[in-house]
């Protein structure tokens, strides 16, 4: 169902890899709601994924950019405003990567140059994206910037490894930069703390399937899907949430407020 919530709005969506991606689902929903946008991803991710199909489906342009490169981001912001015909109304940052996780390095045995690379890609890139938009005065008033995060920023999920630290950093950047963006340009900045979701990136975490099942049993409404997250993101891009900023918004079927659930207790007791 479409409500035309984003009619006339222009944006940039980072991180659509394939049809399992939250960014991909968000792009589809934004298109259905009347928004136009540029798709961006790192050149290597674009070779791995199928972003061309998404661009064709949504009538969008693709501008490759390494989100850790200020030069690439400057080019992306300039070209996006050119292609879209004006300033930007919404941005989705859906970028995360840990070399330590990929290479099977334990949290207690990190290779620190890999850690640094992951931090740069997963968290500092969000600051770089916002700084580029801010310095270029590229956002319209009442624009909305959203980054995707996970509750491992607040609580211990051992196999999430150094991505937990990256997400904590990301959330802090959202608050700190969100203050200046709000004060100076009336732009809001929020993070969505999403349920564990069966994306290509998520499935790289050890024991992920078991954890999805656990979170689903723990949450009174069950896990939020990628499409659910896309819908929530659309609401944050819309004019209906103009005064929501500096928030880390849990979108997890209630998981974040649970201690234990009947379903988890039953499964635990059966296993004894």
Q: Is residue 32 situated within a structural domain? A: yes
Task: State phi, psi for 95 to the nearest 5 degrees.
Answer: -130, 130
For residue 109, is it within any domain? yes
Give pLDDT, residue 141: 98
**Does 62 appear as a known binding residue?**
no
Structure tokens at 135: 């310095």
pLDDT for residue 78? 98
Residues 6+ apart with CB under 8 A from 91: 11, 12, 13, 14, 129, 133, 139, 143, 144, 145, 146
Q: Is residue 4 part of a domain?
A: no
The reply, when asked if residue 15 is annotated as ligand binding, is: yes
- Domain span holding position 175: 10-271
In a domain, 99, yes or no: yes
Q: What pLDDT is stored for residue 27 in this prediction?
A: 98
- Does residue 230 fall inside a structural domain? yes
Block means of pLDDT (10 residues each) for the chain, 272 residues, are 96 95 97 98 86 96 97 98 98 97 96 98 98 98 98 94 97 98 98 91 70 94 98 98 98 97 90 62
Split into its structural domains, the chain has a count of 1
- Is 117 labeled as ligand-binding? no
Contact 191, 151 (CB under 8 A): no
Q: Is 83 exposed, middle or buried (0-12, 13-18, 19+ CB in 10 A)?
A: middle
For residues 47 and 62, the answer to whether their CB atoms sit within 8 Å is: no
* Residue 2 belongs to some domain of the structure: no
pLDDT for residue 268: 84
CB-CB neighbours of 111 under 10 Å? 12
DSSP annotation string for 224-262: PPHHHHHHHHHHHHSGGGTT--S-EEEESTTGGG-S--H
CATH number, domain of 164, equals: 3.40.50.720
Q: What pLDDT score does 209 carry?
A: 81
pTM (two decimals): 0.96
Would you please indicate which residues are annotated as catalytic (active-site) residues?
Answer: 150, 160
Residue 12 labelled as part of a binding site: no
């Amino acid at each position: 169902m479409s409500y035309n919530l984003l009619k006339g709005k222009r944006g940039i969506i980072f991180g659509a890899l394939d049809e399992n991606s939250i960014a991909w689902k968000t792009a589809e929903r934004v298109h259905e709601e009347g928004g136009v946008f540029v798709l961006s991803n790192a050149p290597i991710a674009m070779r791995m994924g199928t972003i061309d199909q998404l661009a064709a489906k949504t009538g969008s342009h693709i501008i490759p950019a390494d989100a850790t490169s200020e030069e690439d981001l400057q080019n992306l912001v300039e070209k996006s405003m050119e292609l879209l015909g004006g300033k930007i109304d919404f941005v989705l940052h859906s970028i995360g990567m840990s070399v330590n996780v990929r290479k099977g390095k334990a949290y207690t045995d990190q290779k620190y140059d890999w850690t640094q690379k992951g931090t740069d890609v997963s968290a500092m890139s969000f600051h770089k994206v916002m700084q580029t938009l801010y310095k270029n005065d590229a956002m319209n008033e009442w624009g909305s910037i959203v980054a995707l995060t996970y509750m491992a920023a607040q609580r211990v999920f051992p196999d999430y490894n150094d991505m937990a630290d990256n997400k904590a950093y990301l959330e802090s950047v959202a608050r700190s930069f969100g203050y200046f963006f709000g004060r100076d340009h009336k732009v809001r900045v929020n993070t969505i703390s999403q349920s564990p979701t069966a994306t290509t990136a998520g499935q790289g975490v050890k024991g992920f399937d078991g954890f999805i099942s656990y979170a689903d049993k723990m949450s009174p409404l069950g896990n939020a899907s990628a499409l659910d997250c896309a819908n929530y993101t659309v609401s944050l891009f819309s004019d209906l949430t103009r005064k929501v900023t500096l928030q880390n918004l849990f979108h997890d079927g209630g998981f974040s407020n649970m201690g234990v659930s009947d379903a988890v207790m039953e499964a635990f007791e059966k296993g004894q």
